[in-house]
Structure 1
Amino acid sequence: MLVVAYIGFGNSVCRYHLPYVERRKDIIKVKYIYRRKEDRVGDEERETWYPNITFTSDIEDVMNDSEVNLIVVNTPDAFHVSYTMQALEHGKNVLCEKPFAMTAKEAKEVFDYAKSKGLVAMSNQNRRYDADMRTVRKVIESGVLGDIVEVESHYDYYRPSIAEHKGYGILYGLAVHPIDQIIGQFGQPKKVVYDCRSIDNPGFADDYYDIDFFYENGMKAIVKTSYYVKLDYPRFIVHGKKGSFLMPSLGHQSSLKPKPGPIEISFDPLPEDKWGTLSYIDDQGNDITKKVPTEIGDYGIIYDNLYDAIFNHGEKIIKDEEVIEVLTIIEEATKVAKEV
């Protein structure tokens, strides 16, 4: 059984981890959540929502418990590497939130150290298992679109208040998701072209990016975010030699609770207005257009794989070289944003 300790108790743990782990009680037990003392002051009530979990402000409780075999790092980005290395030094397998590290070099050092210890260290690139990405993957891998020509991935918003934001970090905090989705699906590109900047604060922020990935087979993938998109835009646009697929933007499936308590997740099928639209020419020459039911998002797939990797020596679904490639791209994108 995976016996888990979380380092951190923010939105990520409550929304993107615990609800999925709860559905896997047969293979997962959450034993600890570590929080710094200062973070617990005035926020004790949330801890009572999880009576079967021990909350502690002593990191040694977590690191020295021989029953704990997986530590999940959910701290601010700057502390990811230090907590991951500490866990590995204590013989614990690690799942670390993205970005796994702040540089590709750091990430490689962590992976190499984990291998030397015979442990599993993996980045929590859970957005590969979003409902929209799982649907796009299913359509692409079905082959109905033929050879893929172009893929657009959009995380767009209308937030004019971005003009007040000066500082970097959006590439690391947001772009890391769609970049990983592209690298995870299509692999390492032969060329990357960067348009990374800020509309309002050029040279002082990284809130606009349009990154193009070019592949050997002629395919192009585009990852783009703008905070000045007022009308809804598809989350994904996929064009192949036989047809096209549009995937609408979806929210996370967690529900808003009328009263305090743990986040609840719906795994019910989504209504048709949340389905994708597929149009293609089939092998008999028929012109077909139809709606494609949206897959159910499930971040718990990461934990299923960790169980297999830790206990059965299975292959990690988030590969080390993919994490390193994503960080290499983000590092270069940040340099471009600073040069504008």
Structure 2
Amino acid sequence: MASSASLRPGTPIRVGLVGYGFAGQTFHAPVLSAAPGLVLAAVASSQPQKVQADWPGVLVEPDAAALLARPDIDLVVVATPNAQHHPIAKAALEAGKHVVVDKPFTLDAAQARELAALAQQCNRVLSVYQNRRFDADYRTLRDVLASGQLGRPVYFESHFDRFRPEVRERWREQAVPGAGLWVDLGAHLLDQAVQLFGTPDTLQLDTAVLRDGAQVEDHFHALLRYEAGPHAPLRVVLHATTLAAHAAPRYILHGTRGSYVKHGVDPQEDALRAGGRPGGDDWGVDPVLGELKVVAIENWVREGTVPNRRGNYVDYYAAVRDAILGVGPNPVPPEEAVALMELLDLGARSARDGRALAP
């Protein structure tokens, strides 16, 4: 049985990936394999030919149970449909494995709290794959905020606007537990907002089913109000839709002394979708620069662009490696994952009730 005590810096951490659908194939296998010290040792999948075409020589197990029974697996990555996150992560922790779960963490906060308690009891690293914390534009936005040049932030918008008018035959777009745009993209936008500004005082969510033939919400608009604390008063808007042929800016930030606007999205997802693997001089380089306008006293204005920091999803898995080896913090610890699930649940209740709710 693997344990954090039995692994030392320099010791390869053997990873078992559960699920080789879109998330496993695109966001996990190539990213974790690019992190020094992590080795993709086995994949649980019903499509062994698909796995072996991408990763020759990697062992393929028929199901999660067979993979979890392997004593040579140290870390299990759960990249299954959302409804399976909780039972598989629970079984992995009980089998003595460290665990990474794709977002959203679980179906609800109660499941999240159960897994967090179990990880503590088992003394295992449990983390959630919030890869968007490692986007180039988000890293740049954090720098702009920290610089203080915009003054106190008063209004922030964060968008994932896409144009996907056709409803696809996949579980994410079917009326099954864990489907819908709020838990899918909302898990990213809400996590980023909380990382930037903390927990809001109230959250109000509106969701809609806009596409012909859609079964679950494919549009949401959330308003977060901050009435106390260092950023108050502040309004934050989180927005995602599948029917935006002309996308809004990715970020809009207004402060008491100026504004920052960023168009376009981090390039890593598109590169991974196209079959690319992390590495090389241009990986994570976002060529679309954000626009900055600072207005100082007597209406003096400074305008210009902001160089983007480099994005790198591999940094997430490198941090997980260090946490397992005991030489660094968990990049997304269970308490943060639980708090986010509580806010996602709150948003769902707000949409049902049609009103703002406090955490």
Same-fold status (TM-score > 0.5): yes
Aligned to 1:131: 136
Could you list the per-position Cα deviations for residues 135-173 of structure 1 after superposition, in whole angstroms to 9, with x for gaps in the alignment? 211211222212111110011133444699774522112
Contact 2:43 2:51 (C-alpha < 8 Å) held by counterparts:
no
Alignment CA distance shift 1:314-1:283 (3 Å): farther
Aligned to 2:314: 300
Q: CA deviation at 1:230?
A: 3.3
- Residue 265 of structure 2 is aligned to residue 250 of structure 1: yes
**Candidates 174, 177, 187, aligned match of 2:198:** 187
Q: TM-score, normalised on structure 2?
A: 0.82
Contact 2:23 2:79 (C-alpha < 8 Å) held by counterparts:
yes
- Residue 280 of structure 2 is aligned to residue 275 of structure 1: no
Contact 2:14 2:40 (C-alpha < 8 Å) held by counterparts:
yes
The one-letter code matched in structure 1 to 2:264 is S
SS of 2:253's equivalent? Answer: strand
Aligned to 2:276: 263
- Residue 74 of structure 2 is aligned to residue 69 of structure 1: yes
Aligned to 2:29: 18
Aligned to 2:3: none
Alignment CA distance shift 1:29-1:282 (3 Å): farther
Contact 1:197 1:338 (C-alpha < 8 Å) held by counterparts:
no
Q: How does 1:54-65 map to 2 (within 5 A)?
A: 54-57=59-62, 59-65=64-70
Q: How does 1:196-235 map to 2 (within 5 A)?
A: 196-199=207-210, 205-215=216-226, 216=228, 217-235=232-250
Q: TM-score, normalised on structure 1?
A: 0.86
- Residue 346 of structure 2 is aligned to residue 326 of structure 1: no
**Candidates 176, 183, 188, aligned match of 2:187:** 176
Q: CA deviation at 1:19?
A: 2.9
Aligned to 2:5: none
Structure 1 distance, partners of 2:120, 2:107, is 20
Number of residue pairs matched? Answer: 330
Segment drifting more, 110-119 vs 157-166: 157-166
Q: CA deviation at 1:66?
A: 3.1
Q: CA deviation at 1:218?
A: 1.1
Contact 1:3 1:70 (C-alpha < 8 Å) held by counterparts:
yes
The one-letter code matched in structure 2 to 1:12 is A
Could you list the per-position Cα deviations for residues 274-322 of structure 1 after superposition, in whole angstroms to 9, with x for gaps in the alignment? 1111111469985221111222221112112212222126432223333
Q: How does 1:4-153 map to 2 (within 5 A)?
A: 4-25=15-36, 27-36=37-46, 39-40=47-48, 44-57=49-62, 59-153=64-158
Q: CA deviation at 1:83?
A: 0.7
Q: CA deviation at 1:23?
A: 2.9
Q: CA deviation at 1:105?
A: 0.8
Alignment CA distance shift 1:155-1:57 (3 Å): same
Q: CA deviation at 1:333?
A: 2.8
- Superposition RMSD in Å: 3.0
Alignment CA distance shift 1:316-1:185 (3 Å): farther
Sequence identity (%): 26
The one-letter code matched in structure 1 to 2:137 is D
Contact 1:205 1:337 (C-alpha < 8 Å) held by counterparts:
no
In structure 2, stretches of 5+ residues that fail to align are 1-11, 355-359
**Candidates 279, 301, 323, aligned match of 1:309:** 323
Q: CA deviation at 1:239?
A: 0.9
Alignment CA distance shift 1:2-1:282 (3 Å): farther
Contact 2:285 2:311 (C-alpha < 8 Å) held by counterparts:
no
Structure 1 distance, partners of 2:220, 2:30, is 32
Structure 2 distance, partners of 1:66, 1:163, is 38
Q: CA deviation at 1:206?
A: 2.2
Structure 2 distance, partners of 1:100, 1:163, is 23
Alignment CA distance shift 1:284-1:23 (3 Å): farther
The one-letter code matched in structure 1 to 2:39 is K
Structure 1 distance, partners of 2:257, 2:326, is 40
Alignment CA distance shift 1:166-1:336 (3 Å): farther
The one-letter code matched in structure 2 to 1:211 is A
**Candidates 254, 270, 289, aligned match of 2:303:** 289
Contact 1:17 1:299 (C-alpha < 8 Å) held by counterparts:
no
Alignment CA distance shift 1:296-1:60 (3 Å): same
